[in-house]
């Protein structure tokens, strides 16, 4: 099978469609691509037709995230909104021992029959898919790091603020305002005065009138796409809010750090050193320092809960599991579960695609250990797939919430 390649000329003619995984983060990342002359659009199509298109184009037994991502693309292409000769699709590729590394190939297969002319771009940091006209320069990469940092602080604080807001919609206003400001600042460079920006964001959210009422806090961990994407998890955060809970979604940066540090770990576990381990070692230290910086601002500010400290996560991973388990979300899931429990978030929903291979081990396989270490832990695993109904999922979450109260 031959597939279309994104040529440098296409930069001017083609619109790059981006799947809806992390609503806040991806908006910021898209704006960076825009600055560099790409035209992007974040997909927002939702509903049954996305799932149906996914089922049509992806093997029935393939995991749900692949099905949803590809379904969303196909549904968008068939909507008539886009000229198939002038769009390209962007998909992320992690490059680990999980099926997820194959999404890009599955997407190309799906396009093969109807849209062979549409190029697929890979967003990856493992050197896969070389030779495309779409290249992330180091400066762009650096800016994206900031997009992730800002995305995290916005997502985290927004979730915490809106659970308690007295006037519905106040927090959303703050969020929207800041997405605009940050988009602008990233254009101008965006690296300066990050601490100042963090403070301003925290101040703005702190100014939202909020109740002092105690609400059950519910952590969301799991497979990366289902965990973050409202499209895939049936708007889980909104559901938890409507049930009177505070959704606690760990930061996306943790996943980035997890990917980076696995390369470093490989060197340690298997006893070798090379360019990759070296580069990732430096990258890891740099990003981790940025996370520390943000946590520091949070702590000084004192109003909201800071994100987990990644080194602490690694520590929990060693305590209850092993950092060698690096496929899929690997050791990050048990580590996040432990960190949530340590931080007083007793209740955890572990979202996973039905039949997800790594999740057999790192989610269902590990809950016994976490429950032993934290007898108060209230963990429910929820499966997502094209067949699972919302009623079924919500009923299980309700049971967990009954226990939470």
DSSP letters, 190-202, are --TTHHHHHHHHH
CA-nearest of 244, 220, 234, 64 to 155 is 220
Alpha carbon of 208 to those of 194, 242, 395: distances in Å? 22, 19, 32
Chain center to CA of 392: 24
Tell me the C-alpha distance between 336 and 333, whole Å.
5
Instruction: Tell me which of 8, 189, 244, 355 binds other proteins, using CB under 8 A.
Output: 355
Contacts of 336 (CB under 8 A, 6+ apart): 219, 221, 250, 254, 308, 313
Residues 6+ apart with CB under 8 A from 362: 321, 325, 328, 329, 330, 331, 332, 333, 334
Instruction: Please report how close the Cβ of residue 57 comes to other proteins at its closest, in angstroms.
Output: 6
Q: Which one-letter DSSP state was computed for residue 99?
A: G
Which region, judged by CB under 8 A, interacts with other proteins, from 22-30, 97-105, 207-215, 336-344?
Answer: 97-105
324 binding other proteins? (CB under 8 A) = yes
Would you count residue 65 as binding other proteins (CB under 8 A)?
no
d(CA 360, CA 355): 8
Binding mask 100-139 for other proteins (x = CB under 8 A): -xx--xx-xx---xx-------------------------
| CB burial of residue 256 (10 Å; 0-12, 13-18, 19+) | buried
| Binding status of residue 227 toward other proteins by CB under 8 A | no
From candidates 186, 325, 335, 350, binder to other proteins by CB under 8 A: 325
Q: Long-range contacts: 264-267, Cβ < 8 Å, 24+?
A: 265/323, 265/324, 265/326, 266/326
Instruction: Give the interface segment with other proteins, choosing from 4-12, 130-138, 220-228, 348-356 (CB under 8 A).
Output: 348-356
Q: Is 82 in the site for other proteins (CB under 8 A)?
A: no
Residues between 369 and 398 that touch other proteins (CB under 8 A): 369, 375, 381, 383, 385-392, 394-396, 398
CB of 240 to other proteins, least distance (A): 15
Q: Is residue 56 part of the contact set for other proteins (CB under 8 A)?
A: yes
Q: How far is the CB of 114 from other proteins (least distance, A)?
A: 7
Per-residue b/e over 379-403, b at no fewer than 16 CB within 10 Å?
A: bbbbbbbbeeeeeebbeebeebbee
Per-position x/- string for 262-291, each x denoting binding to other proteins as judged by CB under 8 A, each - no binding: -------xxxx-------------------
Where does this chain touch other proteins (CB under 8 A) — which range of 18-26, 45-53, 244-252, 298-306?
45-53
Query: Any contact of residue 51 with other proteins (CB under 8 A)?
Result: yes
Q: Would you tell me which residues interact with other proteins (CB under 8 A)?
A: 1, 47-48, 51-52, 55-57, 59-63, 97-99, 101-102, 105-106, 108-109, 113-114, 269-272, 321-322, 324-328, 354-362, 364-369, 375, 381, 383, 385-392, 394-396, 398-399, 401-403
């Amino acid at each position: 099978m031959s597939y279309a390649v994104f040529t440098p000329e296409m930069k001017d003619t083609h619109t790059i469609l981006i799947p809806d995984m992390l609503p806040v983060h991806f908006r910021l990342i898209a704006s960076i691509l825009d600055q560099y002359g790409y035209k992007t659009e974040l997909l927002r199509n939702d509903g049954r037709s996305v799932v149906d298109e996914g089922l049509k184009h992806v093997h029935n037994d393939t995991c749900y995230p692949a099905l949803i991502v590809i379904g969303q693309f196909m549904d968008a292409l068939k909507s008539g909104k886009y000229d198939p000769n002038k769009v390209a699709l962007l998909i992320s590729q992690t490059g680990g021992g999980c099926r997820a590394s194959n999404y890009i190939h599955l997407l190309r297969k799906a396009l093969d029959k109807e849209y062979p002319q549409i190029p697929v771009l890979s967003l990856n940091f493992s050197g896969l898919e070389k030779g495309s006209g779409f290249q992330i320069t180091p400066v762009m990469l650096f800016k994206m790091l900031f997009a992730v940092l800002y995305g995290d602080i916005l997502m985290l604080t927004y979730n915490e603020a809106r659970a308690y807001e007295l006037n519905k919609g106040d927090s959303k206003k703050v969020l929207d305002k800041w997405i605009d400001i940050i988009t602008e600042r990233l254009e101008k460079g965006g690296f300066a005065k990050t601490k100042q920006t963090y403070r301003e964001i925290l101040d703005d959210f702190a100014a939202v009138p909020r109740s002092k009422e105690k609400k059950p806090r519910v952590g969301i961990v799991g497979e990366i796409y289902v965990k973050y994407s409202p499209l895939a998890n049936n708007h889980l955060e909104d559901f938890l809010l409507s049930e009177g809970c505070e959704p606690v979604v760990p930061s996306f940066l943790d996943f980035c750090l997890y990917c980076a540090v696995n390369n470093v770990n490989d060197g340690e576990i298997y006893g070798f050193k090379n360019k990759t381990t070296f580069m990732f070692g430096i990258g890891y230290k740099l990003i981790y320092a940025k996370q520390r910086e943000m946590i520091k601002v949070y702590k000084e500010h004192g109003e909201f809960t800071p994100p987990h400290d990644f080194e602490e996560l690694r520590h929990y991973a060693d305590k209850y599991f092993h950092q060698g388990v690096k496929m899929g979300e690997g050791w990050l899931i048990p580590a996040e579960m432990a960190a949530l429990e340590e931080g007083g978030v007793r209740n955890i929903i572990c979202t996973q695609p039905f039949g997800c291979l790594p999740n057999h081990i790192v989610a269902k396989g590990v809950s016994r250990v976490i429950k032993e270490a934290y007898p108060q832990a209230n963990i429910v695993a929820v499966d997502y797939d094209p067949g699972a109904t919302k009623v079924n999922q919500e009923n299980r979450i309700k049971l967990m919430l009954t226990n939470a109260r």
